[in-house]
Structure 1
Amino acid sequence: MKFTREEIEAAQRTVHAAMPPTPQYTWPLLSQRLGATLWAKHENHTPVGAFKIRGGLTYFETLAREHPEVRHVISATRGNHGQSLGFAARRHGLGATIVVPHGNSQEKNAAMRALGVTLIEHGDDFQAASEHAALLAERDALHRVPSFHRELVRGVSTAYVEFFSALKDAPPDVLFVPIGLGSGFAGAAVARAHCGVATKIIGVVSAHATAYRDSFRAGKPVESPVSTRLADGMACRVPVPESVEVILREADDVITVTDDEVGEAMRILFSDTHNVAEGAGAAALAGALQQQERWRGKTVGISVSGGNVDSDMFAGVLSRSAS
């Protein structure tokens, strides 16, 4: 997946018209804990609390220009993608219907509704919700926004262009990126090429949703069951073939982290930085901690990809003290 410099710069203009660049900080306690210089890219600081907003902005900007006849869109989500689409649709005066599985995060659902989204609950997991969204799109002649698309990746890449540009004098040796359906990982790979850095990129998936790790090892898309309790943003059962292609080509490795490791990373992020991270948002730190011996003394980057965790769930995670 390649983009011209002009395409990336256009994406930056589109994104930064709606939000400022998010910060990247090196936190002394995290660095001390890891035994490395750790830089955190804070995508939990966007207007919807997650990196996905960037892709929604570029997707809708292109949609409005190329298909002005579209007045209503539909998609499926576990939450952050839906907030991204709701935010961007409202900026363009479009309607948006979002399908979520039953039992989805109540606070993410509330946030989507507050953005003007029509929310439909269907199925027991993201894949079932996605398939239902496809049926509704055909039945009602709605434009269906996919969860992985070139225009989404173009927008998401701006987060990592900011990151690599800020650290251009000393790029990190490695960047850990959580993988849900892969737009975040693909965006990081695009930004690495755009900025001309040699940083290794390691994808992090839930040990209870291993489709992308299994696909990486098999060299082709492989489905895998989902049972994660904490990392709903990585609860993928069926990988996207185009996303798998990017990961096969660009990843140094794809590793798994358990819910226990994710919970510990959520506690550590809060105790060491007082940032709130949802499960997927803490997965990169969980991966870095798991591999800390490999990167000891190096410069490590992590993506804090989102902070949208339900209050009750976060309280339960915090009730166990960080080690």
Structure 2
Amino acid sequence: MLFSLKDLDAAVAVVGTTVKPTPAYAWPLLASRTGAEVIVKHENHTPTGSFKARGGLFYVENLRRAGALPPGLVTATRGNHGQSIAIGAARAGIPAKIIVPEGNSREKNAAMAAFGGEVIVAGKDFDESREIATGYQASHGFMFVPSFHRDIVAGVATYAHELFTDHADIDAVFVPVGMGSGICSLITLRDLLGLKTEIWGVVARNAPAFAQSFEAGRPRPTPTARTFADGVACREPQPEALEIILNGAAGILQVGEDEIAEAIRILYTDTHNMAEGAGAAPLAALMDARERFRGKRVALILTGGNIDMPVFRQVLSGQTPVA
């Protein structure tokens, strides 16, 4: 197990000082569309607009409590993870260097800077930025923060704890898969609680690395991950996360760019919530598989709402953005 219930209790205490429990509502219009009872876990309602806020706070606080704070932190991100590390580092009084790929979301870059991070644009995509960040660690003496770490997963699991506390009888949960902290937190806590809930990961068809790796039973990197749903734009699955997913997920579903855009529109019209591409991917997957889940009680993790305004305008106008 990545973490214990004792670890989770510690995470709840730390994360709860900044991130209050987010709502999980059953939306009747979504039920009408899918034939299932649909509960949306609104992680778009955190202080950073994403579930990632939870992980960075717990990770940095554990370094502080252990007396192991480094001179600074460096990480790679498309935006949400970087915001969490920036806010955690600022609270600990140390700097954070955030490496983002070329063409990254301007609004996410601005948010990371506002939380105290120094944003450095380097790399053609997330995986290349991650390589640059590890090199920065070696040359500058900062600690590299990966996107997947047991303390990050334990912090993220506070949303899973909230969901299962309020809705223990869920038949299935749909969650987007980027680097794996969200889905692995759900799998680990479900198993610790002895629940029978199916956990379904969702990726973009244009970024299928985790889906192909799940099918092969081993890491299967892809040459590209070109999706406007940047939160799932991963081309190199990490073995530790993949092992947990292989052992605990019901499957990894793939959705197209048009389906993701349509899910963003539906979430806006049916719930009046903004969803970024990754946050809408679970609904896209449920819509595609609705016959299988008809009559079931299903939860969707709306992982974030950090979508740039020009992209959101495109989506609302009926277009599908191109990565």
Query: What is the TM-score normalised by the length of structure 1?
Result: 0.97
> What is the percentage of aligned positions where both structures have the same residue?
47
Q: Which shows bigger deviation, 67-76 or 26-35? A: 67-76
Q: Are the equivalent residues in 1 in contact too, given 2:203–2:255 (CA < 8 A)?
A: yes
| Residues 153-302 of structure 1 mapped to structure 2, 5 A cutoff | 153-168=153-168, 171-302=169-300
Distance in 2 (alpha carbons) for counterparts of 1:13 and 1:227: 36
- 1:168-214 deviation per Cα after TM superposition (whole angstroms, max 9, x unaligned): 3xx11110010001010001112212333210001101100111001
Corresponding residue for 1:110?
A: 110
Which residue is equivalent to 1:313? Answer: 311
Q: Distance in 2 between matches of 1:266 and 1:7?
A: 34
Match of 1:99 in 2: 99
| Structure 1 Cα separation of the partners of residues 191 and 244 of structure 2 | 13
Paired AA for residue 202 in structure 1 = W
Which one-letter code corresponds to 1:87 in the other structure?
Answer: I
- The one-letter amino acid of 2:170's match is P
- Asked if the contact 1:231/1:280 (under 8 Å) is kept, the reply is yes
Cross-structure match for 2:145: 145
Q: Which residue of 2 aligns with 1:10?
A: 10
1:94-148 CA-to-partner distances (Å, cap 9, x unmatched) read 1100000000000000000111111110111001100000111100111110111
Name stretches of at least 5 consecutive residues in structure 2 with no aligned partner. Answer: none
The alignment partner of 2:60 has SS state of helix
Q: Which amino acid aligns with 2:26?
A: T
* Aligned counterparts of 2:179 and 2:84: Cα–Cα separation in 1: 15
Distance, in Å, in 2 between the alignment partners of 1:269 and 1:78 is 22
Question: What is the match of residue 56 of structure 1?
Answer: 56
The one-character-per-residue Cα deviations of 1:5-27 (angstroms, maximum 9, x if unpaired) are: 21111111111011210010001
CA distance in 1, matches of 2:226, 2:270: 25
Counterpart in the other structure of 2:119? 119
Contact 2:2 2:150 in 1 (8 A): no
- The offset of 1:69, in angstroms, is 4.3
Structure 2 counterparts to residues 22-37 of structure 1, below 5 A: 22-37=22-37
The C-alpha deviation readout for 1:247-273, integer Å capped at 9, x for no partner, is: 100110111011111000000000000
**Aligned pair 1:80/2:73, yes or no?**
no
Secondary structure in 2 matching 1:281: helix
- Measured on the aligned residues, the alpha-carbon RMSD in Å equals 1.3
CA distance in 2, matches of 1:96, 1:181: 20
Which range moves more in the overlay, 49-58 or 191-200? 191-200
1:298 partner amino acid: K
Label 1:192 to 1:69 Cα distance change in 2 as closer, same or farther (>3 A).
closer
TM-score, normalised with respect to structure 2:
0.97
**1:40 maps to which residue?**
40
* Aligned partner of residue 256 in structure 1, secondary structure: strand
Aligned-pair distance for 1:321? 8.8
What is the alpha-carbon distance in structure 1 between the residues aligned to residue 227 and residue 174 of structure 2? Answer: 21
Q: Structure 2 CA distance, aligned partners of 1:28 and 1:276?
A: 18
Contact 1:230 1:263 in 2 (8 A): no
Structure 1: distance between partners of 2:27 and 2:319? 19
Whole-angstrom CA distance in 2 between matches of 1:21 and 1:195: 19
1:71 Cα deviation from its structure 2 partner: 2.9
Residue identity matched to 1:280: A
Looking at structure 2, the residues matched to 316 and 143 of structure 1 have their Cα atoms a distance apart, in angstroms, of: 39
Counterparts of 1:291 and 1:225, CA distance in 2: 28
The offset of 1:93, in angstroms, is 1.2
Which whole-Å CA distance do the structure 1 matches of 2:299 and 2:189 have between them?
14
Question: Aligned partners of 2:77, 2:69: CA distance in 1, in Å?
Answer: 24
Unaligned runs of 5+ in 1: none
Corresponding letter in the other structure for 2:268 = F
- Worse-superposed segment, 62-71 or 116-125: 62-71
